[in-house]
Every structure is written in C-alpha cells, then in structure tokens.
C-alpha cells in the first residue's frame, strides 16, 4: 500500500557550537515562523544534550540525539557514554557508524553492530551510516562496500523493532567537501539499499548525507528512495536549517 513518506532532516553538529551559539541558534530559529511537517532532529555534542533538549522542544519541537554511544550499558569504560544514559536523559536517537567514527576512531562493522544492537535494546532510534570512499567508488566497489556495511552492521537486527531504524547513505567523498552526489547517483544507492533490506525493514527511512544545502535539498527529496538528509555544515546556521526543514515539510512523495 502506498503511504506518504515522513521526511527527516537531521543536523549533525559534530564538535561544533558553543553554548552561546546554541542559544542564538534557537533564538533565531524560533523567530522564523514555519509549519513544521517533517521530522527535524539535531545531534549536538553530548554535554549539550540536556540544554538542547529543553530549547529544541520549546522553540520548535525538534528532537535531540547523540552522535555516538558505547556498545555496553555500564562499567569501567573511561570516557564513554552509554545508550542507556542517553535514553535516561530523554535523547531520542543516536547516529552510529558515521564515516568520521569509522576512519578517525577506527570503528569497524563488528563494533558498530554491537553499538547498534545495544542502542536498539535501549529503545533509541538509530541512524546507521554507510558509504564508500572516493577510491572505492572509482574502483567500482560502491555496492560491494555498502552491502558489506549493511550485512555486518545490521546483523541480528530485531525486525520487530523496525520502527527504530534509519539508514544514512553518506558517500565519504561528499562529506564536508562541497561535492554532493548527483540525485541520480544517490538514488541508485538508496534503491540498492532498500532492495537489500529484509521484508520487515523495507519501509526504513533512508537519508542522504554529504554537502546537503538549501539549494540542493529539493532535487534530492524528489527521488523516490531519498527520505531526508543528514546534514553537517548547513545545519549549524538556523536560517539554513530552517530552509532545509521547509523543503522537508513541502515534500509530499508517497511510496
Ligand atoms: P556535511 O556533513 O553536510 O558537512 O557534508 C554531513 C555529515 O557528516 O553527516
């Protein structure tokens, strides 16, 4: 049965935004009136989660989540933050497997699978990121790489919790580079991801990420398998984030 898609616009603030920047962001965001019909989510640094949760809710019904979490609930893991603690403070979601976690922090699919299963067990929504490097794309390995990330990352996924899963396709060569995949390049991989998902996960929200901006979001959201965006740079400015949310609110595709 065809059903309207719920578009998700997710800001990944990475290690940016001071407390003052955050306050100004929401002052500006709340001044710009809009009819928010899409899901609007932001992932700040861990330490800012509680304050963001208050500001985000009162000024615009934005949901708040983390950029990473531990694979275990508690114990002697100095410096780590558990999904359980994130759920405790009311975080709605967590991003797992962002390419910066994979490359800078050497997180592999086995570890990411443990993190994902633990976050799901704690009833957090998970945005699981996949994507190929430029080298891999040039060698024609995009589909093999993405399929392996999906198979290993989603191993033993409890399909009765399908509503907690989102996937983000983020070609590594498009992240923070200003080079967006064309809408056709992105759609091809999104359709492939959907085809590979088991029946119970077929309606999973699949986001595109990599240099998404107010001037390219519309064309991406016109593609049948692109259900929203995971946005770094352009989510830091209230006016840009708002424009992305307006684009997300006016997209009316059914699938
Ligand atoms: P970008 O980052 O929008 O700045 O390219 C996307 C991401 O890292 O999720």
Q: Please determine, for residue 159, whether its predicted confidence score (pLDDT) is greater than 70.
A: yes
Nearest ligand 1 atom to alpha carbon 99:
8
The token pair at 43 is 């992932």
Question: What ranges make up the beta strands (E) of the chain?
Answer: 8-12, 39-43, 63-66, 93-96, 125-130, 165-169, 205-209, 228-231
Active-site residues, by number, are 98, 170
- In this prediction, residue 255 has a pLDDT band, given cuts at 50, 70 and 90, of low
Rounded to an integer, the average pLDDT of 75-86 is 98
- In this prediction, residue 253 has a pLDDT band, given cuts at 50, 70 and 90, of low
Q: Please determine, for residue 252, whether its predicted confidence score (pLDDT) is greater than 80.
A: no
- Beta-carbon contacts of residue 121 (< 8 Å; ≥ 6 apart): 83
Q: Please determine, for residue 228, whether its predicted confidence score (pLDDT) is greater than 90.
A: yes
**76 CA to middle of ligand 1, Å?**
32
Ligand 1 pocket mutation pick from 232, 241, 243, 244 by most atoms within 8 angstroms of CB: 232
Helix (H, G, I), strand (E, B) or coil at 98: coil
Residue nearest to atom 6 of ligand 1 (CA): 232
**113 CA to middle of ligand 1, Å?**
22
Best CA proximity match to 126, nearest among 224, 230, 248: 230
Mean pLDDT (the chain, rounded): 94
Give the pLDDT score at 133.
Answer: 95
């Amino acid at each position: 049965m065809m059903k309207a898609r719920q578009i998700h616009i997710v800001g990944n603030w990475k290690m940016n935004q001071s407390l003052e920047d955050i306050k100004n962001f929401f002052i500006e965001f709340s001044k710009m009136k809009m009819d928010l019909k899409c899901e609007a989510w932001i992932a700040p640094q861990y330490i800012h989660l509680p304050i963001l949760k208050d500001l985000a809710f009162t000024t615009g019904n934005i949901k708040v989540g983390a950029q990473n979490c531990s694979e275990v609930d508690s114990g002697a893991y100095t410096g780590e933050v558990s999904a359980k603690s994130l759920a405790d403070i009311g975080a709605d979601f967590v991003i797992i497997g962002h390419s910066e976690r994979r490359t800078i922090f050497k997180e592999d699919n086995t570890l990411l699978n443990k993190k994902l299963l633990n976050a799901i067990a704690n009833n957090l929504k998970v945005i699981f990121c996949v994507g190929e490097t430029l080298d891999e794309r040039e060698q024609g390995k995009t589909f093999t790489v993405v399929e392996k990330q999906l198979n290993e990352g989603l191993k033993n996924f409890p399909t009765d919790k399908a509503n907690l899963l989102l996937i983000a396709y983020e070609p590594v060569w498009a992240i923070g580079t200003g080079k967006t995949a064309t809408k056709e390049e992105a759609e091809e991989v999104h359709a492939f991801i959907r085809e590979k998902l088991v029946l119970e996960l077929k309606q999973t929200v699949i986001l595109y990420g990599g240099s998404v901006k107010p001037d390219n979001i519309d064309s991406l959201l016109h593609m049948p398998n692109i259900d929203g965006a995971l946005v770094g740079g352009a989510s830091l400015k209230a006016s840009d984030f708002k424009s992305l949310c307006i684009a997300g609110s006016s997209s009316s595709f059914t699938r």
